[in-house]
Amino acid sequence: MQAGGKMPVGANVGDGRAEYRFLALRDLIALAYGVKPYQVSGPDWMTSTRFDIVAKMPDGSARGDANQMLQSLLEDRFKLTTHRSTAEHPVLALVVSKGGPKLKTSTGTLVAIDENTPLKPGEMKADGPDGPIRMSIDASTGSAVVNMGTRGKMSYRVNPASQSMHMEFSMTTMSGFADMLTQLFTQLSGGKGSQIVDMTGIQGNYEASLEVSMSDLLNMARSMGMNLPPGPAGAGNPGAANPSGPAVASDPSGSSSSVTDTVQALGLKLESRKATVEQLVVDHAEKTPTEN
Protein backbone atom coordinates (compact mmCIF):
# COMPACT_ATOMS: atom_id res chain seq x y z
CA MET A 1 0.00 0.00 0.00
CA GLN A 2 2.88 2.37 0.82
CA ALA A 3 4.18 1.97 -2.75
CA GLY A 4 0.96 3.43 -4.15
CA GLY A 5 -1.05 2.35 -7.19
CA LYS A 6 -4.33 0.47 -7.00
CA MET A 7 -6.04 -0.09 -3.70
CA PRO A 8 -5.52 -3.72 -2.58
CA VAL A 9 -9.22 -3.92 -1.64
CA GLY A 10 -12.32 -2.48 -3.26
CA ALA A 11 -13.20 -1.65 -6.86
CA ASN A 12 -10.74 -0.53 -9.52
CA VAL A 13 -11.92 0.01 -13.10
CA GLY A 14 -9.61 1.29 -15.81
CA ASP A 15 -7.11 0.40 -18.53
CA GLY A 16 -9.50 -2.18 -19.97
CA ARG A 17 -9.80 -4.12 -16.69
CA ALA A 18 -12.33 -4.28 -13.89
CA GLU A 19 -11.05 -5.53 -10.54
CA TYR A 20 -13.12 -6.06 -7.39
CA ARG A 21 -11.05 -7.41 -4.51
CA PHE A 22 -12.00 -8.66 -1.04
CA LEU A 23 -15.61 -7.55 -1.38
CA ALA A 24 -18.68 -9.19 0.14
CA LEU A 25 -21.45 -10.13 -2.28
CA ARG A 26 -23.68 -7.43 -0.78
CA ASP A 27 -21.06 -4.79 -1.70
CA LEU A 28 -20.71 -6.19 -5.21
CA ILE A 29 -24.48 -6.07 -5.66
CA ALA A 30 -24.58 -2.48 -4.40
CA LEU A 31 -21.95 -1.44 -6.96
CA ALA A 32 -23.65 -3.33 -9.79
CA TYR A 33 -27.16 -1.97 -9.15
CA GLY A 34 -26.22 1.55 -8.07
CA VAL A 35 -27.50 1.43 -4.48
CA LYS A 36 -25.91 1.72 -1.03
CA PRO A 37 -24.88 -1.52 0.74
CA TYR A 38 -27.46 -0.93 3.49
CA GLN A 39 -30.18 -0.91 0.81
CA VAL A 40 -29.41 -4.52 -0.18
CA SER A 41 -31.58 -6.99 1.71
CA GLY A 42 -30.66 -10.69 1.71
CA PRO A 43 -29.17 -13.58 3.71
CA ASP A 44 -26.47 -12.87 6.31
CA TRP A 45 -23.75 -14.78 4.44
CA MET A 46 -23.74 -12.04 1.77
CA THR A 47 -21.97 -9.73 4.24
CA SER A 48 -19.32 -12.18 5.45
CA THR A 49 -18.14 -14.28 2.47
CA ARG A 50 -15.76 -12.26 0.29
CA PHE A 51 -14.78 -12.57 -3.34
CA ASP A 52 -12.18 -11.39 -5.86
CA ILE A 53 -13.32 -10.61 -9.40
CA VAL A 54 -10.80 -9.73 -12.12
CA ALA A 55 -12.22 -9.24 -15.62
CA LYS A 56 -11.04 -7.93 -18.98
CA MET A 57 -13.49 -5.42 -20.42
CA PRO A 58 -14.52 -5.84 -24.07
CA ASP A 59 -12.77 -3.64 -26.63
CA GLY A 60 -14.60 -0.37 -27.11
CA SER A 61 -16.39 -0.48 -23.77
CA ALA A 62 -16.45 2.61 -21.57
CA ARG A 63 -15.70 2.91 -17.89
CA GLY A 64 -19.37 3.64 -17.28
CA ASP A 65 -20.31 0.22 -18.67
CA ALA A 66 -18.58 -1.61 -15.81
CA ASN A 67 -21.54 -1.64 -13.39
CA GLN A 68 -23.93 -3.13 -15.95
CA MET A 69 -21.31 -5.75 -16.85
CA LEU A 70 -20.85 -6.58 -13.16
CA GLN A 71 -24.62 -6.92 -12.83
CA SER A 72 -24.71 -9.41 -15.71
CA LEU A 73 -21.79 -11.34 -14.24
CA LEU A 74 -23.48 -11.66 -10.83
CA GLU A 75 -26.72 -12.79 -12.43
CA ASP A 76 -24.82 -15.38 -14.47
CA ARG A 77 -22.30 -16.72 -11.94
CA PHE A 78 -24.32 -16.40 -8.72
CA LYS A 79 -27.71 -17.00 -10.37
CA LEU A 80 -28.71 -13.73 -8.73
CA THR A 81 -32.33 -12.59 -8.92
CA THR A 82 -33.63 -9.42 -7.25
CA HIS A 83 -36.54 -7.05 -7.04
CA ARG A 84 -36.92 -3.52 -5.74
CA SER A 85 -39.19 -2.61 -2.86
CA THR A 86 -40.04 0.52 -0.88
CA ALA A 87 -41.18 0.19 2.70
CA GLU A 88 -40.80 1.65 6.16
CA HIS A 89 -37.65 0.50 7.93
CA PRO A 90 -36.03 1.37 11.26
CA VAL A 91 -33.30 3.98 10.79
CA LEU A 92 -31.11 6.17 12.93
CA ALA A 93 -32.01 9.81 12.34
CA LEU A 94 -29.18 12.35 12.55
CA VAL A 95 -30.84 15.36 14.22
CA VAL A 96 -29.80 18.51 16.06
CA SER A 97 -29.60 18.14 19.83
CA LYS A 98 -31.21 20.54 22.31
CA GLY A 99 -28.18 22.81 22.65
CA GLY A 100 -27.86 23.34 18.90
CA PRO A 101 -25.10 22.28 16.48
CA LYS A 102 -21.44 22.84 17.31
CA LEU A 103 -20.09 22.69 13.76
CA LYS A 104 -17.42 24.70 11.99
CA THR A 105 -18.29 25.96 8.52
CA SER A 106 -15.82 24.89 5.85
CA THR A 107 -13.93 27.62 4.04
CA GLY A 108 -12.34 25.33 1.44
CA THR A 109 -13.62 24.60 -2.06
CA LEU A 110 -14.64 21.12 -3.16
CA VAL A 111 -12.79 19.90 -6.24
CA ALA A 112 -13.77 16.86 -8.31
CA ILE A 113 -11.08 14.21 -8.75
CA ASP A 114 -9.48 14.28 -12.19
CA GLU A 115 -8.87 10.62 -12.99
CA ASN A 116 -6.27 11.62 -15.60
CA THR A 117 -4.04 13.24 -12.97
CA PRO A 118 -1.05 10.93 -12.25
CA LEU A 119 -0.87 9.39 -8.81
CA LYS A 120 1.51 11.01 -6.35
CA PRO A 121 4.11 8.86 -4.53
CA GLY A 122 2.29 6.75 -1.94
CA GLU A 123 -1.13 7.63 -3.38
CA MET A 124 -3.67 4.96 -4.35
CA LYS A 125 -6.93 5.02 -6.28
CA ALA A 126 -10.20 3.16 -6.06
CA ASP A 127 -13.77 3.42 -7.32
CA GLY A 128 -16.29 4.14 -4.58
CA PRO A 129 -20.10 3.96 -4.77
CA ASP A 130 -20.23 7.73 -5.32
CA GLY A 131 -17.26 8.13 -7.63
CA PRO A 132 -13.46 7.85 -7.67
CA ILE A 133 -11.43 7.92 -4.44
CA ARG A 134 -7.79 8.74 -3.86
CA MET A 135 -5.99 7.77 -0.68
CA SER A 136 -2.55 8.58 0.73
CA ILE A 137 -1.11 6.54 3.60
CA ASP A 138 1.84 7.29 5.88
CA ALA A 139 2.65 4.00 7.60
CA SER A 140 5.32 5.63 9.78
CA THR A 141 2.76 7.82 11.54
CA GLY A 142 -0.32 5.61 11.17
CA SER A 143 -2.16 8.34 9.30
CA ALA A 144 -4.01 8.62 5.99
CA VAL A 145 -5.98 11.07 3.88
CA VAL A 146 -8.99 9.92 1.84
CA ASN A 147 -10.08 12.30 -0.91
CA MET A 148 -13.65 11.69 -2.08
CA GLY A 149 -13.73 14.66 -4.45
CA THR A 150 -17.01 16.54 -4.32
CA ARG A 151 -18.07 14.58 -1.23
CA GLY A 152 -15.21 16.00 0.80
CA LYS A 153 -12.13 14.61 2.51
CA MET A 154 -11.50 12.40 5.50
CA SER A 155 -8.17 12.10 7.30
CA TYR A 156 -7.29 9.87 10.20
CA ARG A 157 -4.41 9.11 12.52
CA VAL A 158 -3.81 6.56 15.24
CA ASN A 159 -3.17 7.84 18.77
CA PRO A 160 -1.28 5.14 20.71
CA ALA A 161 -1.55 7.07 23.98
CA SER A 162 -5.35 7.07 24.02
CA GLN A 163 -5.69 3.77 22.12
CA SER A 164 -7.95 5.44 19.60
CA MET A 165 -8.17 6.69 16.04
CA HIS A 166 -8.91 10.34 15.40
CA MET A 167 -10.85 11.13 12.21
CA GLU A 168 -11.35 14.53 10.62
CA PHE A 169 -14.06 15.22 8.03
CA SER A 170 -13.51 18.25 5.82
CA MET A 171 -15.95 20.11 3.55
CA THR A 172 -18.67 17.52 4.10
CA THR A 173 -22.43 18.02 3.93
CA MET A 174 -24.66 16.63 6.64
CA SER A 175 -26.02 14.02 4.21
CA GLY A 176 -22.44 13.04 3.34
CA PHE A 177 -21.58 12.86 7.05
CA ALA A 178 -24.62 10.62 7.63
CA ASP A 179 -23.48 8.34 4.79
CA MET A 180 -19.97 8.11 6.27
CA LEU A 181 -21.39 7.25 9.69
CA THR A 182 -23.60 4.59 8.10
CA GLN A 183 -20.55 2.95 6.51
CA LEU A 184 -18.64 3.10 9.80
CA PHE A 185 -21.47 1.60 11.85
CA THR A 186 -22.08 -1.08 9.21
CA GLN A 187 -18.46 -2.19 9.48
CA LEU A 188 -18.44 -2.01 13.28
CA SER A 189 -21.50 -4.26 13.47
CA GLY A 190 -20.30 -6.88 10.98
CA GLY A 191 -22.42 -5.63 8.10
CA LYS A 192 -25.67 -5.18 10.04
CA GLY A 193 -25.50 -1.51 10.94
CA SER A 194 -28.58 0.70 10.70
CA GLN A 195 -28.97 3.28 7.97
CA ILE A 196 -28.35 6.82 9.22
CA VAL A 197 -30.53 9.48 7.60
CA ASP A 198 -29.79 13.19 7.71
CA MET A 199 -32.78 14.93 9.31
CA THR A 200 -30.89 17.97 10.65
CA GLY A 201 -32.12 20.37 7.98
CA ILE A 202 -28.61 21.89 8.01
CA GLN A 203 -27.32 23.10 4.63
CA GLY A 204 -23.74 23.80 3.60
CA ASN A 205 -20.36 22.16 4.13
CA TYR A 206 -18.76 21.64 7.52
CA GLU A 207 -15.76 20.33 9.43
CA ALA A 208 -16.28 17.50 11.91
CA SER A 209 -14.16 15.09 13.92
CA LEU A 210 -14.66 11.71 15.57
CA GLU A 211 -12.59 9.76 18.08
CA VAL A 212 -13.06 5.97 17.78
CA SER A 213 -11.61 3.51 20.30
CA MET A 214 -9.09 0.93 19.13
CA SER A 215 -11.32 -1.84 20.49
CA ASP A 216 -14.05 -0.75 18.08
CA LEU A 217 -11.51 -0.58 15.26
CA LEU A 218 -10.33 -4.13 16.00
CA ASN A 219 -13.94 -5.29 15.87
CA MET A 220 -14.28 -3.52 12.54
CA ALA A 221 -11.25 -5.40 11.20
CA ARG A 222 -12.61 -8.73 12.47
CA SER A 223 -15.97 -8.04 10.85
CA MET A 224 -14.12 -7.55 7.56
CA GLY A 225 -12.69 -11.07 7.83
CA MET A 226 -9.24 -10.32 9.26
CA ASN A 227 -7.97 -13.04 11.58
CA LEU A 228 -6.86 -10.92 14.54
CA PRO A 229 -6.13 -12.41 17.97
CA PRO A 230 -8.12 -11.20 20.98
CA GLY A 231 -6.58 -8.41 23.02
CA PRO A 232 -5.06 -8.86 26.48
CA ALA A 233 -7.30 -9.55 29.47
CA GLY A 234 -9.41 -6.56 30.31
CA ALA A 235 -8.99 -4.99 26.88
CA GLY A 236 -11.76 -4.34 24.41
CA ASN A 237 -15.33 -3.35 25.03
CA PRO A 238 -16.18 -3.35 28.75
CA GLY A 239 -19.77 -4.13 27.88
CA ALA A 240 -18.91 -7.36 26.05
CA ALA A 241 -20.82 -10.45 27.15
CA ASN A 242 -17.67 -12.57 27.06
CA PRO A 243 -14.74 -10.54 28.46
CA SER A 244 -12.31 -13.44 28.04
CA GLY A 245 -12.98 -13.74 24.30
CA PRO A 246 -12.68 -11.37 21.36
CA ALA A 247 -14.11 -7.91 21.91
CA VAL A 248 -17.67 -7.29 20.77
CA ALA A 249 -18.50 -4.06 18.96
CA SER A 250 -20.72 -1.59 20.76
CA ASP A 251 -24.31 -1.17 19.62
CA PRO A 252 -24.23 1.95 17.41
CA SER A 253 -27.66 3.02 18.63
CA GLY A 254 -26.74 2.63 22.33
CA SER A 255 -25.12 5.09 24.70
CA SER A 256 -22.00 2.92 25.03
CA SER A 257 -20.80 3.63 21.50
CA SER A 258 -17.75 5.89 21.38
CA VAL A 259 -18.91 7.13 17.97
CA THR A 260 -22.32 8.10 19.36
CA ASP A 261 -20.62 10.04 22.16
CA THR A 262 -18.54 12.07 19.72
CA VAL A 263 -21.58 12.76 17.54
CA GLN A 264 -23.26 14.23 20.63
CA ALA A 265 -20.19 16.42 21.18
CA LEU A 266 -20.93 18.01 17.79
CA GLY A 267 -24.35 19.15 19.01
CA LEU A 268 -26.02 16.33 17.09
CA LYS A 269 -27.65 13.08 18.16
CA LEU A 270 -28.94 9.82 16.73
CA GLU A 271 -32.57 8.87 17.29
CA SER A 272 -34.31 5.62 16.40
CA ARG A 273 -37.09 6.36 13.90
CA LYS A 274 -38.83 4.85 10.90
CA ALA A 275 -38.39 6.12 7.35
CA THR A 276 -39.37 5.05 3.85
CA VAL A 277 -36.33 3.35 2.33
CA GLU A 278 -35.85 1.84 -1.12
CA GLN A 279 -34.52 -1.72 -0.88
CA LEU A 280 -32.99 -4.08 -3.42
CA VAL A 281 -34.27 -7.46 -2.20
CA VAL A 282 -32.24 -10.54 -3.12
CA ASP A 283 -34.68 -13.32 -4.03
CA HIS A 284 -31.99 -15.89 -4.83
CA ALA A 285 -28.19 -16.11 -4.85
CA GLU A 286 -25.89 -19.14 -4.91
CA LYS A 287 -23.22 -19.22 -2.19
CA THR A 288 -20.71 -20.71 -4.61
CA PRO A 289 -20.46 -19.03 -8.02
CA THR A 290 -20.03 -21.09 -11.17
CA GLU A 291 -16.43 -21.59 -12.27
CA ASN A 292 -14.70 -19.73 -15.09
Write down the domain spans for the chain: 5-284
Polymer length of the chain: 292
Instruction: For residues 81-93, give the mean pLDDT.
Output: 90
Q: What is the pLDDT of residue 254?
A: 38
Lowest mean pLDDT, pick from 137-146, 182-191, 268-277: 182-191
Q: What is the pLDDT of residue 236?
A: 41
Q: What is the mean pLDDT of the chain?
A: 80
Residue 173 has pLDDT above 70, yes or no: yes
Residue 152 has pLDDT above 50, yes or no: yes
How many of the other CB atoms lie within 10 Å of CB of 215? 21
> How far apart are alpha carbons 245 and 4 in whole angstroms?
36
Residue 177 has pLDDT above 70, yes or no: yes
> How far apart are alpha carbons 201 and 132 in whole angstroms?
27
> How far apart are alpha carbons 3 and 62 in whole angstroms?
28
Lowest mean pLDDT, pick from 62-66, 199-203, 238-242: 238-242
The secondary structure element, H or E, covering residue 176 is helix 174-188
Q: Give first-to-last CA distance, the chain, whole Å.
A: 29
Judge contact between 223 and 24, C-beta under 8 A. Answer: no
Instruction: For residues 243-247, give the mean pLDDT.
Output: 35
